[in-house]
Structure formats: structure tokens, C-alpha cells
Amino acid sequence: MSRIPRMPATARRFLAYGLDSGLPALLSLLLLTLAARSTDMATFGTFALALAIAGLQTPLAAFGLITLFFGRAASRPAGAVLIFWPGVVATLVAGAVLYGGTLTALWALAPPLLTTLYALVGLRVLGAVAGPIKAIHQARSRPDRYVPWRLVTIAAAFAATGAVVALDGGLAGYALVWGLEWLVFAAGLLAGALRSGALRPVARPRVRPVLTKAGPLFVQAVCIAVYLRFDQVYVAWRFGEAELGLYAAAARIAEAGTMVYGVVGLVVAPRIIREWTHGRLSGPARGALAGIALGAVAASGLCWVWGGDLLRLLFGPPFAAGGTILAIYVLSTCFTVYGAIGSRINVAQGTTLPSMIAGLVGAVSNVALSILLCEIQGPAGAATATVASYALSCTVTWGSALARSRRGPRAGR
């Protein structure tokens, strides 16, 4: 059995990924907290609905890059320096069409406040190119290619948030900061990558093999967006904006925890993948996987006791009733990280089809369970549906990885 190489510069990469995940999570939590404290629950729910709509659209806008070169990077990391120009153009055009079309539909059908807030928050959709480019740098274990610029845009966003507070800019100001930060980050990331030569154009790209590998990843990305945001859209439709405000506040805190776990996943995933493909997992790798689950259960227990107090502290007294939602939702954090690691193991084994199947299972189960459980538990049912759908999706991903491992390392598709 060949020796498993050690992962270089773990501490440095852990710090970089921590800053990349932690600071944006802190910024989003700060913006949501300020928004909640600046208005009533129903208006805050409208703000959260605008965020949910924009969140549903970003993976769709990124289809050009995902299908034409993110799949190449994911299935063959050595090819992560390759970029296909039509993919960039398709992503930019798709973002503009989605943004403009949604804005027009909201202007015709929705209240003016929702239209205004989406016009500002939806700027993120125009910056969808950032996600796949980040993934390429992560596949190459090169956070230094994008983290410094992200720190600049986050610092500018914090400063802009302070200005909004000082000038009493209200919800529109917070929405503008939220949308512009990601758009500026995307523009700088793409420009910097092209200027430095980190991403070089492909002279004669073989599109069909890339589509074969990346197509399932695109479907998975769309499905993830569905079961990340459908619950919020459905809560708003079924119970109203006020209940969505309560639900969104709890979900945002839980998602911040997911980002923290994501840092751990990004750091330990390369080692777990190497050990898995060599046919064994070491004690530290098993311990890391177990620790992720135990941490989520412990966090959930704490939220059952003090979740309401935490929501009251951050968002104000009306949000204290969301403690149960937070305690349930936080359990999904471990399944998010497990799913990401399992998906990368399947890619390392030479297949992306399980990622698509897992995404479809997660999306369909989330929609069905949200509709069913909301009638039983109220808005908390959407949180239960989220946890259950993540668990089902994760089961499919790891079940496939285990089955392929038993058939031999790196089994073909």
C-alpha cells in the first residue's frame, strides 16, 4: 500500500478558509440583525424573502461556468487552470436575464418594497461567476488566489454598513451592501485571475466530456439552491412575511454554523479523500467525521435551552419564539459538510452522477416534507424538512461512495 502524503500548510489554509467563511457569515448576520432591529417583523420578513429569491437564482446564473469548466476542475484538478470563454459569457448573460426578468415580474406583481429590495440584493445574481472560480482555486488548494481580495471587499462592506447606520439608510442600504459586496468580489476575482494567468483560455476545449462530468454537478447545484431556499419561500407563502422573518433569523444563525463546519470540511476533506481512495481511514480522519456530528448535536442541545435567548439578544424580543426552529435547523450543519465531503469522494472515484441523484433526492424530499410538516408543526416543520432532506441526500452520496469502494478503487462511471 502506498504511503499517504501529508497535507501541506494545514494551519495556513485553515486560517484562510476560516476568514473566507467566517467574515462573510459575520457580515450577513450583522446585516440581518440591523435590518431586524430597524423595522417590524413583517417588513423584515419581506427583506428575508428578497434574499431567498436571489439565493434561488445564483446557481442558475452560474450554469455556463459550472457546465463548461467547473466540472473539468472538479473531475481533474490538474485541469483547473483551464477556462472556456463561452462559459463566462453564458454566465454573465444568464445572470443579467434572470435579474432583469425577475425584477420586471416583481414590478408588475409584487409590492413595491419587495421589488426595491430585490433590485438591490439581486445584484448578487450578476456576480454568479465568483462561485465556480472560487471552487477552482479550492480544488487546487490555493486560497491565496482569492481570499485576500475577499477580505478587501468584506472590509469595505463593513465600512459601508457603518455608513448606512450613521446615515440611517434603512433596509435599502443594507440590501445594497449585501448585493454590491459579492458583485465587486466577483468582478475583481475574474479580472485578477485573468490578469495573473491563473485561468488560461482553452484553445480547443472538449466540451462533451466536460458536460458529461459537470452536468450532474450543475443539477446538484440547482437542487441545493432549492432545498436551501424553498423552505423560506414556502413559509412566506403559507404563513406570511412575519413568520418568515422569525424563521429566517433562526436559519441565518444555523447557516453561520454551517460555514464554520465548512472550513473544517475544506481542510480535512483532501486527507479523507486520499485515505478513502487508498482503502482506509486513519484515526484522526474518523475522529474529525465523528466530531462534526457530535458538535452539531451539542449545538442543537444548547439551542433548545438558550436558542430563544440568543435570538432575543441578536434580533430583538419578538424573535425569541424562534428558539425551537434554531435548535432543529442547526442539526442540518453536519449533513451539509458530510454531503460536501462525500460528493468530492465520488468525484475522486471518477463519477459525478451520485451528486445529481443526491441533489434530486434532497430537493424533492425538501419540497414534499416542507408542505407536509408545515401543516403539522407550523414554520418549524420547514426546519425539520430541511434536516431530513439533507440527511437523505447525504445518505445517497455516501452510499454510492461506499458501494464503489467495495468494487475497487476509482471504479469507472
Tell me the three state secondary structure of residue 83. strand
Q: Is residue 413 part of a domain?
A: no
Please determine, for residue 413, whether its predicted confidence score (pLDDT) is greater than 50: no
* Alpha-carbon span 139 to 142, nearest angstrom: 8
CA distances from 326 to 226, 301, 389 (A): 20, 10, 17
The model's confidence at residue 2, banded by pLDDT at 50, 70 and 90, is very low
Determine the average pLDDT of the residues in 8-25. 70
Please determine, for residue 82, whether its predicted confidence score (pLDDT) is greater than 70: no
Per-residue pLDDT of 119-147, as tens digits, reads: 999 999 998 888 777 776 776 667 777 88
For Cα atoms 147, 148, 152, give the angle at the middle one, nearest 5 degrees: 115
Lowest mean pLDDT segment, chosen from 51-60, 64-73, 196-205, 238-247: 64-73
Tell me the three state secondary structure of residue 282. coil
Residue 372 grid coordinates: 407536509
Domain count, the chain: 1
Q: Is residue 259 part of a domain?
A: yes
Torsion of CA 342, 345, 347, 348, to 10 degrees: 170
Please determine, for residue 183, whether its predicted confidence score (pLDDT) is greater than 90: yes
Per-residue pLDDT of 230-283, as tens digits, reads: 888 889 889 988 899 999 999 888 877 766 666 666 667 777 877 887 777 788
Please determine, for residue 195, whether its predicted confidence score (pLDDT) is greater than 50: yes
Lowest mean pLDDT segment, chosen from 91-105, 210-224, 391-405: 210-224
Residue 218 grid coordinates: 450543475
Determine the average pLDDT of the residues in 39-43. 90
The model's confidence at residue 165, banded by pLDDT at 50, 70 and 90, is very high
Name the residue among 396, 411, 256, 402 with its Cα closest to residue 329: 256
Q: Compare 151 and 14 and report the one with higher pLDDT.
A: 151
Within 10 Å of residue 55's Cβ, how many Cβ atoms? 17
Q: Is residue 296 part of a domain?
A: yes
Average pLDDT of the chain? Answer: 80
Contact 164, 177 (CB under 8 A): yes
Residue 185 grid coordinates: 468580489
Name the DSSP letter for residue 3: P
Q: Is residue 346 part of a domain?
A: yes
Q: Which residue has the cell 494551519?
A: 11
The model's confidence at residue 207, banded by pLDDT at 50, 70 and 90, is low
* Partner residues linked to 82 by β-bridges: 200
Q: Compare 349 and 332 and report the one with higher pLDDT.
A: 332
Question: Residue 6: its pLDDT value, please?
Answer: 47
Please determine, for residue 392, whether its predicted confidence score (pLDDT) is greater than 90: yes
Contact 71, 211 (CB under 8 A): yes
Contact 350, 411 (CB under 8 A): yes
Q: Is residue 364 part of a domain?
A: yes
Please determine, for residue 73, whether its predicted confidence score (pLDDT) is greater than 50: no
Amino acid at site 92: L
* Alpha-carbon span 137 to 361, nearest angstrom: 29
Q: Is residue 138 part of a domain?
A: yes
Class of residue 30 by CB neighbours under 10 A (exposed 0-12, middle 13-18, buried 19+): middle
Question: Residue 147: its pLDDT value, please?
Answer: 87
Q: Is residue 1 part of a domain?
A: no
> Domain residues for 106?
10-406
Q: Compare 357 and 325 and report the one with higher pLDDT.
A: 325
Q: Is residue 412 part of a domain?
A: no
Please determine, for residue 150, whether its predicted confidence score (pLDDT) is greater than 60: yes
The model's confidence at residue 77, banded by pLDDT at 50, 70 and 90, is very low
Question: Residue 66: its pLDDT value, please?
Answer: 55
Name the residue among 80, 88, 98, 96 with its Cα closest to residue 64: 88
Lowest mean pLDDT segment, chosen from 85-94, 208-217, 323-332: 208-217
Determine the average pLDDT of the residues in 369-388. 93
Question: Residue 295: its pLDDT value, please?
Answer: 87
Determine the average pLDDT of the residues in 38-54. 91
Name the residue among 17, 377, 370 with its Cα closest to residue 228: 370
